[in-house]
Amino acid sequence: MPLSLTPQQNETGDDTLAIAPENAVEPTHSKIQGFSSWNFLPRRVRPFSFRKVVIFCLASALVGSAWLSTWEPEKSINLETPVIDAYVPPMPHPPAGYTIQADTSHPIQWLRKNTILDLQDLPTQQVQALIETRPKAAFISLVRNEEVEEMVASILQVEARFNSRETHGYDWVFFNNEEFTEEFKAIVSGATDSQCYFERIPQEHWRIPSWIDINRFDIGRQFMGGIGVGKAWLQSYHHMCRWNAGIFASEKRLANYDWFWRVEPAVQFSCDINYDVFRFMQDNNMAYGFNMAILDDARSFPSLWERTKEFIDHNEELVDEDADFNWLLYTAEDHDDVIRPHTGAKEGLGDGEYNNCQFYSNFEIGSLKFFRSKEHMAYFDHLDKAGGFYYERFGDAPVHTLSVSMFLPKSRIWYFRDIGYAHGLCEQCPPHEHPLASRLQRKALLPQEVEQEVSKPIKDDTRTMMEGPFESFGSKHRRWTTMAQDVERQKGIPSLACGCTVNAIDSNNAKLVPYESKQRKPSDPCIRKFLGGKWLVKKDKVSDFNSDTGIIRSSDSVEYVLDGRDGNPFQ
């Protein structure tokens, strides 16, 4: 016989659970059904009306859920909380004798304070103040009408990753040696809410200067084209390099701007940029920002270094006293494989000669004041008068590199490792995977497992974001909720969200050096030479014993202790 459990009263008056037969008469009063009353308890221990308890519980649940629906965890975070603690940008090792500024004015402190994931976290007055004090800055693009699609692709990325913020909205200025078509203007203007200007470059800025021997130019470019120096046969390419190297900053349309960010068609910006890059430059007294330092085909500028030395010899007073040129020069370590016939020594590459390293200038953020300065203009004129933009193919990249390295201290040149960027073959993707994030992404966790995960030791200082030694559970929970949202939204470090795979800091070093070019590479990649210090520390050579084969393999290849994929190599 199937059994049902029903509380019943026994002879002694106590409620007990008795086994009732299925066909027993159903009690009519709800109080005596199941657990819906206290009847099963002895009368003296019954607390108070069961109905009151039920009403109290329902009311509490209603109030609780109303509170939860209005609670916005992100509003409860302290805006002072550093949001980039897990990522410290690689900084150049200061040259000997150079003192670093006090911590308060350090660019990293600035980034901590001014990285804002969501503008809604800021009070309206602060947003308004940021809008009103925007630096005078613009994106500039040299582009042809037929590159409209590629241009739009670049604009959309810059806008999505940076410029569409209410506090930014920086202007776009497009330059062309021909008139822009109406179609170009309409399509490009539709890709941004910002003000667009379309400028035709004056003819005197885009033609072979009077002092150039046209025959020599033609023979030179045929020769360079013949040996495979990229685009050297194109007359327009020489105009372009010359314009970008020096003339651009004097274009009338740029007169009212202090800062520029160069954007080429068909480039990619793969990471969110959660601070105002122009304000960063301005507040930290920067003058030049880059994001790749690489080698290029040295056959395109054979006389550039001679011309530069000649300039320095005649204009020593223009060179900054804190300028650091060392990263651009071959050292005794940079030797050729050629053995000198008489001494048996390896052929030196010429200590103190230019090693061809350069900032890859299709991405650059700079001070227009610098590029209009007496120093830069004098250097540009010197190279221009020597004819190097036509008889050879002096590029704007080595010219800018030599110029900023000569006239500025390194502290005014900034490496934007955090800006994910790609141009053709060369790509830089910064570290953006948070150690905690990757651990949590692997599995869906229950709340108590989250607590366990959070309290596990982790390598970096994320823990300081997550907890203090006496932090309450509630506060931990709020922090966790906030962080979990970021992790979910950004799949990485708060402040960095990238659509690219992290690459080593030096992965682009020789990509642009053609096989035909016999140039020797400096013993360390350009970016490592620029950063110096820990970035030059090599791993000990290892010899590998394979117990299966009994073969000892010894590796001669250079490996560095830091490869730049680690989010926080300096801690």
Residue 268, interface with ligand GTP (CB under 6 A)?
Answer: no
Token pair 């400028």 in the structure block, residue: 199
> Quick one: 37 or 362, whose CB is closer to ligand GTP?
362
Residue 441 partner contact from ligand GTP, Mg ion, none using kind-dependent CB cut-offs of 5 to 8 Å: none
Where do the DSSP E strands lie in 342-501?
Answer: 346-348, 357-359, 364-367, 413-415, 421-423, 426-428
Q: Which residue is nearest to ligand GTP (CB)?
A: 236
Residues 294 and 379 sit within 8 Å (Cβ to Cβ): no
**Quick one: tokens of 81?**
């909380």
> Is beta strand 288-290 parallel, antiparallel or unpaired with respect to 268-269?
unpaired
Residue 265, interface with ligand GTP (CB under 6 A)?
Answer: yes
Q: Which of 143, 304, 454, 487 binds ligand GTP (CB under 6 A)?
A: 143
Map the footprint of Mg ion across residues 256-315, applying CB under 5 A: 264
Residue 236 partner contact from ligand GTP, Mg ion, none using kind-dependent CB cut-offs of 5 to 8 Å: ligand GTP
Give the CA distances from residue 151 to residues 11, 144, 172, 197, 202, in Å, rounded to whole numbers and listed in that order: 92, 9, 11, 14, 22
Q: Which region, judged by CB under 6 A, interacts with ligand GTP, from 236-244, 252-260, 313-321, 490-498?
A: 236-244
Torsion sign over Cα 324, 417, 86, 559: negative
**Quick one: tokens of 43?**
């009368």
Token pair 């204009």 in the structure block, residue: 315
Size of the site for ligand GTP (CB under 6 A): 13
Residues 495 and 84 sit within 8 Å (Cβ to Cβ): yes
Options 147, 159, 364, 433, the catalytic residue: 364
> Quick one: 206 or 330, whose CB is closer to Mg ion?
206
**Quick one: tokens of 75?**
């509003």
Is 471 noted as a catalytic residue in this protein? no
Map the footprint of ligand GTP across residues 28-67, applying CB under 6 A: none
Q: Shortest distance, CB of residue 539 to ligand GTP, whole angstroms?
A: 33
Give the CA distances from residue 207 to residues 210, 240, 395, 550, in Å, rounded to whole numbers and listed in that order: 9, 10, 16, 67
Q: Shortest distance, CB of residue 268 to ligand GTP, whole angstroms?
A: 13
Half-sphere exposure of residue 552, counting CA atoms within 13 Å on the CB side?
Answer: 3
Q: Shortest distance, CB of residue 254 to ligand GTP, whole angstroms?
A: 16
Map the footprint of ligand GTP across residues 147-176, applying CB under 6 A: 147, 176
Token pair 């090792």 in the structure block, residue: 93
Residue 240, interface with ligand GTP (CB under 6 A)?
Answer: yes
Torsion sign over Cα 458, 460, 461, 466: negative
Q: Which region, judged by CB under 6 A, interacts with ligand GTP, from 30-38, 40-48, 141-149, 216-224?
A: 141-149
Q: What's the CA gap between 171 and 303, in Å, rounded? A: 38
Residue 362, interface with ligand GTP (CB under 6 A)?
Answer: yes
Q: Which amino acid is at 30?
A: S
**Quick one: tokens of 234?**
């194109």
Q: Which region, judged by CB under 6 A, interacts with ligand GTP, from 111-119, 137-145, 379-387, 409-417?
A: 137-145
Residue 142, interface with ligand GTP (CB under 6 A)?
Answer: yes
Q: Which of 74, 199, 264, 451 binds ligand GTP (CB under 6 A)?
A: 264
Q: Which of 49, 105, 236, 571 binds ligand GTP (CB under 6 A)?
A: 236
Residues 278 and 170 sit within 8 Å (Cβ to Cβ): yes
Strand partners, 544: 553
- SS3 helix, strand, coil % of the chain, rounded to 5? 40, 15, 45
Q: Which amino acid is at 389?
A: F
Residue 291, interface with ligand GTP (CB under 6 A)?
Answer: no
> Quick one: 55 or 234, whose CB is closer to ligand GTP?
234
> Quick one: 232 or 281, whose CB is closer to Mg ion?
232
Residue 253, interface with ligand GTP (CB under 6 A)?
Answer: no
Q: Shortest distance, CB of residue 143 to Mg ion, whole angstroms?
A: 10
Q: Which region, judged by CB under 6 A, interacts with ligand GTP, from 7-15, 18-26, 143-151, 461-469?
A: 143-151
Residue 235, interface with ligand GTP (CB under 6 A)?
Answer: no
Q: What's the CA gap between 158 and 472, in Å, rounded? A: 41
Binding site for Mg ion (CB under 5 A): 264
Binding site for ligand GTP (CB under 6 A): 142-144, 147, 176-177, 236-237, 240, 264-265, 362, 424
Active-site positions?
A: 364
